[in-house]
Structure 1
Amino acid sequence: MAEFDYTQAIADARAKYESIALALDIDRMKQQEQDLEVEASAPGLWDDPENAQKITSKLSAVQSQLKRLASAQQRIEDVETLVELGQEENDADTLSEAQNEVEGIQKDLDDMEIQTLMDGEYDERSAVVTIRSGAGGVDAADFAQMLLRMYLRWAERNGYKAKVMDTSYAEEAGIKSATFQVDAPYAYGRLSVEGGTHRLVRISPFDNQGRRQTSFAAVEVVPLVEATDHIDVPESEIRVDTYCASGPGGQGVNTTYSAVRITHIPTGIVVTMQDERSQIQNRAAAMAVLQSRLLVLRHEEEAKKKKELAGDIKASWGDQMRSYVLHPYQMVKDLRTGYETSQTQAVFDGDIDEFIQEGIRWRHEQRREAAEEADE
């Protein structure tokens, strides 16, 4: 086994730290922290709870990032001292401790580096995610529910606030579709790489002959619309239907016409919402999701025009982006990045950070290559 090169490892860590600090612009972040502190201390802040939550959440995120950066810098200096001490005294235990610390620092810096790669127009925002069952019958509906649980567990593991906004249950098992919102800085930047078609291969628990079944589910991720986006939706362009909510929710939900379906006539986009007790609340939530989807549609149309001007850009996302194989072997593999793991149960329990991080790196590289081609 090659001897661990402490000098090179520490130099690499310091170089990566400086690169991250430059990309995140620490001075800008400190100014942002001051501005948010002023907003957070303003009288009457909580007169508008939703806005207050956004301000305090942003402030907490900025403070946390600054703290992580300061901690990383201090840890690099401390471990350098620890290595010098271990080498002077020829203390194997101290050097082993230093190696573990250097490797821990490198992992933390890798995690922080991800944020520097989330530089899309809407990456900083919260996310609205919709999962729909595809081909595969009852297995696909069950798979869609497995994905919903996976993402909710992922949000829980990371301390992100997640709320299911609408669920359409399938007749036998699972769900036809579900929409949920994740409120956290850069939630869209992270989850947007999860958009696409997911495939499950397993022995079907719904087949009495125990045959292998392939099923599909689609994941759509849009950024949460904000007041500054100016997405106007004239009443003449929408059709609003109300109906009784279905599934769990209690007597009050299931016996009143509180559920809302909004159809955007020009595009055919349909949004349903039934989580809230009030029809007014469901309509407001459905309009917010509709505006978010129209925002993405507008962004895609603008990108399409740029693509036509720039010519063909290689490496499109494609329809199928990840496979979950439970039989005849255990493997979850991202077909874009090549990242894979045999820990399938951990993945379905929400351990998908590595997939997301590799997806962000892959997307950043695609954007870079596309920009280079457009400049040629």
Structure 2
Amino acid sequence: MKEELQLLEKEAIEKIEQATDMKELQSIKVAYLGKKGSLTSVLRGMGKLSKEERPVIGELANKVRETITNAIEQKNEGLEQAVLEEKLQKEAIDVTLPGRPVPTGGPHLLTKIVEEIEDLFIGMGFEVREGPEVETDYFNFEALNLPKDHPARDMQDTFYITNELLLRTHTSPVQARTMKAYDDSKSVKMICPGKVYRRDTDDATHSHQFTQIEGLFVDKDVKMSDLKGILDTFAKKLFGEDRQIRLRPSFFPFTEPSVEMDISCKVCNGDGCSVCKGSGWIEILGAGMVHPNVLSMAGYDPKVYSGFAFGMGPERIAMLKYGIKDIRQFYTNDVRFLKQFHNA
């Protein structure tokens, strides 16, 4: 049996060395070391040996098993290394090539404009306030000097949900809510950006949904000159120090007096061109002194307190600042359009 074990070991080692892949190596392992393998078959004959021979043959059989096992492990490592080297050779990467750029996104142009305007007014002491987009008729209209059946309501074609609930037509309700929440000893200095909704026909200059930023300052001795100074600073910071402004008389139910603000055309510098329709000026926002009725309904004494309010559309400001012709481009998610302004 000793010679048989030695011959089995020699034969197994030769086959292991000749194996060309891991599948063949596994077959050799099963053939020699498996439950029905050659080594197991030889050991079944140990019952016929004498007591003196059994320990010797048992020890030899263990050494043979260990030798074959070690040979299989070494061969397996060699085959795995060969497979890895072949794979690396086939999948070689030229690390000297420049990397492919990964496109990155950026904030939407409207988001950038809104944040720019917010930062500008925060720097002048205003706080940013928000309110609900589904608003009550009271805060959207009545608290702003627009009682039911007031003809000025026709200026804002409204999406009504019920007789008393609607999609807000401007962000002015946030101003009314803020004044209501304060007592009449506290001044209010705020802006309120947000989405608003009107039943406008969608075309190049109108949309049923758009963005507004409105501002309010209420305190003792607030004057029209304060409003003009704030708006002049705003125009110069946003459009350039050489921009001029002018205020034209207008009408808004919640301000008295009311004005429209124009800025000098940056294309022609006020000389007149197709952009400003030959006037040299471009309308940009509406403003005025807070109507005494609005102050009274909010709990402020109009004989003691005064204030100004203004409202602007970030879409219009972006269109003027970047020469965009169609308001619908802000909402079509056309990446070709949006990526132009990532570094604007």
TM-score, normalised to structure 1, is 0.22
TM-score, normalised to structure 2, is 0.23
Q: Which has the larger radius of gyration?
A: 2
Higher helix share: 1
